[in-house]
Amino acid sequence: MQNQKQTFWSRYHVWVAVVVALAGAAVFFLRAVDFAQTTPTIVWDESMYPYKGWLFATGRYRPFEDFGPWTNQMPVAFLIPGYIQKWFGPGMAVARTYAVVVGMLTVLGVWLAVKRTSNVWWAAAAVWVMALNPSYVQVFSQTFSQGLVSLFFAWMLFFGLGDWRPNWSLALAAFLAALAGMARINVLPALPLFVLYVFWQHGKRAGWIALAAGMLPVIFFHLAYWPDILKIWAYWIPPQIFPWIMDFRSPWREIFVPEGFSWWPVDTWLHNPDHLAWVGIRSFWQAVRGNFVVIFGVVTGLLLYAWRGKSAETHLSPAHKRQIIFLAGTFWALFLVHLWAANGKSCQFVCFPGYILFFFVFGLVLIPMTAAAWKKEMPVWGQALVFVLIFALLLTLEFNLNSPYLNFRYDLIRNTFDLQIPRIKDGHILNDTAPLWQLLENKFGFDHYPLRRYILNEAGAITLLHWLKTGAIVLLGLPLAYRLAKKWAWTPVNFGRFALLGTLLLGFGFSYGHFFGDVLISDTCTDSVIASYEQVGEELSAYLSDGDQVYYRVKANMLLLELPAVEIYPPQLNFLYTFVDDPSADPETLTRFVWWNQALKETWLQEADYILVENRFFDQEWKDRIAAGELEQLFISSPTASCRGEDSRIVLLAPLP
């Protein structure tokens, strides 16, 4: 009977793994569709890609052109969602459907890449890593550029990895890496790293072919938009090296961190909890929380990987080790690049957790590849290091959670001081109870109120709970689980290996929950946001017509996909991010680089046929202009998102002669 079971499993386990992967893909798809329907588009980044891309695809503007929309990323990030809008009709439904399709193709690419480089069971696990984390699913249900870049990288790894790959496959992988770089300049380092890997792994001929294929998209898009594409490079190329680059550099730039901010010396911020540096530290650990399985999995894989000697389980080829080095090197190189960019170069720290999603697939493929040569034994010093690492990591993440634990503290009081204890008199149990605090007070004169107030009201109690929770997990839970594993395991279990894999497995299991899964998650509505946008678009279309000049004071551009082909002042598509408080600025220079100021605002208000104002920005200034007879209020729309209520209504105004 046992042999028959083994025969069945050896024959059909691959199909079981495929079914498990399909179940994960189905979960990802259903959750992505739900998020696509119910997530409000309140983040400016999402809506700028399909709308600006639609303007480019329909020929109304060209990427990077003077006086056109701000092309703050490489053109592919706009052109692909833009052409989708052109081919299938502009609208939020098309944009969100495109995002879900990109997400599903990324899941398929990850599954194929892991299956090729490891096995079907690890491939199924990779699918579930994506399906369980709600932050991942929600990001892939919106038109952020992370989805498109991850899609390119997933399929690049599928075509580019393997002990032996034909030249056409390596060329296609390099081409996809270049497309990723032509979508986001911040991931462009992946292309030269991959080409160097091909030279190292497959020889000169394959390397030159990969280099040529990878340079095709780079050269094509630079020639297509030359020289205006230098506007995006002007932020990164030092003018000391190329002085002429200043002709393409805007005189204004967003300031993400105050002038003079520095991490050094450390004592300037270490004891000041309100210092901006702590925002950066919290964002870093938010990134670890939100991408725990990938980041900790990469660390685990590299710690356990048998770098020297032969693994006890398998004899790995040098080609396999080169792939490990390429994946690890690319992952950490992109990690550092994005950490640097988040340090005031492209945002004020808080974008870093989302930046990991540009390149997380490298880690997702790396983890199972290292598993083929995980060491079964770790030296004592290594086990001690792992113990300290896990304790420090979980403690840091626990403090980063920033939770008041209010319900937990109330429960702690109810289950201790307020716990009802049977009363005893003369050695007999009475049919009566009293709270524990009263019994302690009567017996010992113990005044519990100071301790009660401390637990419920003091910040120190939260700190103490963080320590106790982490200590209970690492000092009690981990050793107990290890003893049980030793008792039930078929083979000897090394503590260091067990601690690393156990923590990784727990992180995988808790990816769905608040501790790891909600870092990038946005609040959702109970009904369809897409339907709400379509309704608001229909309401406003009763007033607006093709060609109408519109002054736009709405943060997200998604609404414009539901309106007739109105004309928008291009700088306003960037909301207030390119508004400059400089009344003496030259209007032509401002609009050439897609900036604007108060003087341009007044000019545009006089020129506009209609004015759209999101209700949350309909402040006293607009009411005063109406009262002064400058503007007329024509209409207030339905909410664009029911869960945002009145804030998301659109006020339609028109200038009065």
HEC readout, 324-351: HHHHHHHHHHHHHHHHHHHECCCCECCC
Residues 6+ apart with CB under 8 A from 460: 454
pLDDT at 223 over 80: yes
Q: How far is it, in rounded angstroms, from Cα 78 to Cα 139? A: 17
Q: How far is it, in rounded angstroms, from Cα 298 to Cα 53? A: 35
Whether the CB-CB separation of 650 and 533 falls below 8 Å is answered with no
Whether the CB-CB separation of 537 and 562 falls below 8 Å is answered with yes
Task: Tell me the pLDDT band of 191, cut-offs 50, 70 and 90.
Answer: very high
Q: How far is it, in rounded angstroms, from Cα 55 to Cα 48? A: 10
Instruction: Give the containing element (helix H, strand E) for 655.
Output: strand 650-655
Instruction: Give the containing element (helix H, strand E) for 283.
Output: helix 276-290
Residue 50 CB-half CA count within 13 A: 29
Residues 6+ apart with CB under 8 A from 70: 570, 571, 573, 574, 578, 594
Question: Smallest Cα–Cα separation from 124: which of 227, 25, 207?
Answer: 25
Q: How far is it, in rounded angstroms, from Cα 651 to Cα 637? A: 7
Per-residue pLDDT, 313: 47
Residues 6+ apart with CB under 8 A from 503: 296, 300, 390, 393, 394
Pairing of strands 549-553, 428-435: unpaired
Q: How far is it, in rounded angstroms, from Cα 45 to Cα 357? A: 15
User: pLDDT of 150-161, one tens digit each?
Assistant: 999 999 999 999
User: pLDDT of 611-641, one tens digit each?
Assistant: 999 999 999 999 999 999 999 999 999 999 9
Q: How far is it, in rounded angstroms, from Cα 276 to Cα 278? A: 5
User: What is the length of the chain?
Assistant: 657
Question: Smallest Cα–Cα separation from 557: which of 631, 650, 632, 655?
Answer: 650
pLDDT at 2 over 70: no
Q: Cis omega (within 30 of 0) on the bond before 265?
A: yes
Whether the CB-CB separation of 503 and 301 falls below 8 Å is answered with no
Whether the CB-CB separation of 605 and 628 falls below 8 Å is answered with no
The residue that leads in pLDDT, 423 or 22, is 22
Mean pLDDT over residues 509-526, rounded? 83
Q: In the structure encoding, which two tokens stand for residue 594, read together?
A: 């897609």
Q: In the structure encoding, which two tokens stand for residue 101, read together?
A: 């399709």
User: pLDDT of 381-412, one tens digit each?
Assistant: 888 889 889 988 888 888 777 666 666 666 66
- Phi, psi of 502, deg, nearest 5: -65, -45
Residue 88 CB-half CA count within 13 A: 15
Helix and strand counts by DSSP (H, E) for the chain: 28, 7
Q: How far is it, in rounded angstroms, from Cα 561 to Cα 92? A: 7
Per-residue pLDDT, 47: 92
Residue 194 CB-half CA count within 13 A: 33
Instruction: Please state the pTM of the whole predicted model.
Output: 0.90
Q: How far is it, in rounded angstroms, from Cα 610 to Cα 632? A: 10
Question: In this prediction, what percent of the chain has a pLDDT beyond 90?
Answer: 63
What is the 8-class DSSP label of residue 66?
A: T
Q: How far is it, in rounded angstroms, from Cα 11 to Cα 91? A: 48
Pairing of strands 428-435, 567-568: unpaired
Cβ count within 10 A of residue 498 = 19
Q: What is the mean pLDDT of the chain?
A: 90
Per-residue pLDDT, 310: 54
Cβ count within 10 A of residue 246 = 11
Question: 120-132 and 2-38 helices cross at what angle (nearest 10)?
Answer: 30
Three-point CA angle 254, 257, 260, nearest 5°: 120
The distance between the two most distant Cα atoms of the chain, rounded to a whole number of Å, is 97
User: pLDDT of 531-574, one tens digit each?
Assistant: 999 999 999 999 999 999 999 999 999 999 999 999 999 999 99
User: pLDDT of 255-282, one tens digit each?
Assistant: 888 888 889 888 888 888 889 998 999 8
Q: How far is it, in rounded angstroms, from Cα 140 to Cα 104? A: 9
Q: How far is it, in rounded angstroms, from Cα 548 to Cα 609? A: 6
The sign one gets for the Cα dihedral 494, 499, 504, 510 is positive
Residues 6+ apart with CB under 8 A from 243: none
Question: 449-457 and 406-414 helices cross at what angle (nearest 10)?
Answer: 160
Q: In the structure encoding, which two tokens stand for residue 401, read together?
A: 């959670």
Q: Cis omega (within 30 of 0) on the bond before 81?
A: no
pLDDT at 425 over 80: no
Cβ count within 10 A of residue 541 = 13
Per-residue pLDDT, 312: 42
Q: How far is it, in rounded angstroms, from Cα 284 to Cα 642? A: 33
User: pLDDT of 105-154, one tens digit each?
Assistant: 999 999 999 999 999 999 999 999 999 999 999 999 999 999 999 999 99
The residue that leads in pLDDT, 372 or 529, is 529
What is the 8-class DSSP label of residue 473?
A: I
Instruction: Give the containing element (helix H, strand E) for 91.
Output: none
Residues 6+ apart with CB under 8 A from 587: 599, 600, 603
pLDDT at 1 over 60: no
Mean pLDDT over residues 208-234, rounded? 96
Q: What is the CA radius of gyration of the chain?
A: 29
pLDDT at 520 over 80: yes
